[in-house]
């Protein structure tokens, strides 16, 4: 139980990768707050994880809404005393396969805000509590798509969140807050057959990734196993981004 006494807030954790992250953190003894655009999904994921003996809370939290971010952080502090770990998992995959030039300005703004602006807003909201607790850890969700496998607004936004990770590591290091990122490869999302074929031809491990493939990386990044690691993106993609 490496995270006993720690409080973690995970965004977009009502289902899929975020839910798996929340369960992995709970499995190491953390108290976990599950925020999701869909409040019912958040509460049912929290109840499911609580059934394993963990302390959890699920709440509606649209990371695109500033007041939702503020109230989620306030509710976490009010109920559990503070925030030690923030996992900025929520992301918008719309436009994942579209060329940048095919999106309207509004779609572009929305993707950039949800995938880059909102994680910054969440980090900013959690910082004072982390400072009060002597430090903290932030993990941002990037994507293999940032590293050459895609050309879309989504991939640009994921390269930007990798950049934001380094910027925040610079800004928050003084407060003993480590900021790192995970760039998953193709996990369980829907992928058009021709794109899947192209990605699998570049992937060194010849199987599709699954959410549990990311759990160990998250636990490494939020525990003292990585106590001197900050400003790094760990690419967990079966080797697509590997170059000689």
| 21 is annotated as an active-site residue | no
Which class for 63: exposed (0-12), middle (13-18), buried (19 or more C-beta within 10 A)? buried
Closest CB to ligand NAD among residues 18, 27 = 18
- Catalytically annotated residue among 21, 147, 154, 220: 154
Closest CB to ligand NAD among residues 44, 176 = 44
- Interatomic CA distance for residues 209 and 35, integer angstroms: 24
State in angstroms the smallest separation of the CB of 190 from ligand NAD.
Answer: 9
Closest CB to ligand NAD among residues 60, 84 = 60
Residue nearest to ligand NAD according to CB distances in the complex: 91
- Interatomic CA distance for residues 134 and 84, integer angstroms: 9
- Interatomic CA distance for residues 181 and 192, integer angstroms: 26
Closest CB to ligand NAD among residues 9, 187 = 187
State in angstroms the smallest separation of the CB of 36 from ligand NAD.
Answer: 5
222 and 5 in contact (C-beta within 8 Å)? no
DSSP at 161: H
What element of type H or E holds 39? helix 39-50
Closest alpha carbon to 19 in 241, 225, 214, 243: 214
DSSP at 244: -
Closest CB to ligand NAD among residues 15, 176 = 15
Tokens of 18: 């975020």
Residues lying near ligand NAD in the complex (CB under 6 A) are found at 11-12, 14-18, 36-38, 41, 61-64, 89-91, 93, 114, 141, 143, 184, 186-189
> Which strands make up the sheet holding 56-60, listed edge to edge?
56-60, 31-36, 7-11, 85-88, 136-141, 177-184, 233-236
Question: What distance lies between CA 235 and its chain's CA centroid?
Answer: 13
Q: Which residues are catalytic?
A: 154
């Amino acid at each position: 139980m490496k995270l006993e006494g720690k409080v973690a807030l995970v965004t977009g954790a009502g289902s899929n990768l975020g839910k798996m992250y929340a369960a992995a953190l709970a499995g190491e003894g953390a108290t976990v707050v599950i925020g999701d655009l869909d409040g019912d999904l958040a509460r049912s994921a929290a109840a499911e994880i609580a059934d394993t003996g963990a302390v959890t809370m699920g709440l509606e939290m649209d990371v695109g809404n500033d007041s939702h971010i503020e109230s989620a952080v306030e509710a976490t502090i009010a109920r559990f005393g503070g925030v030690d770990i923030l996992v900025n998992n929520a992301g918008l995959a719309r436009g994942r396969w579209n060329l940048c030039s095919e999106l309207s300005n509004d779609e572009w703004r929305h993707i950039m805000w949800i995938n880059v602006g909102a994680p910054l807003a969440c980090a900013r909201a959690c910082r004072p509590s982390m400072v009060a607790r002597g430090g903290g850890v932030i993990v941002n969700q990037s994507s293999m798509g940032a590293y050459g496998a895609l050309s879309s607004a989504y991939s640009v936004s994921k390269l930007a969140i990798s950049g934001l990770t380094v910027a925040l590591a610079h800004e928050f290091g003084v407060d003993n807050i480590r900021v790192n990122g995970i760039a998953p490869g193709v996990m369980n999302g829907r992928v058009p057959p021709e794109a899947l074929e192209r990605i699998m031809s570049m992937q060194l491990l010849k199987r599709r990734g699954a959410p549990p493939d990311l759990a160990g990386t998250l636990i490494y990044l939020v525990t003292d196993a990585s106590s001197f690691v900050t400003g790094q993106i760990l690419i967990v993609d079966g080797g697509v981004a590997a170059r000689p």
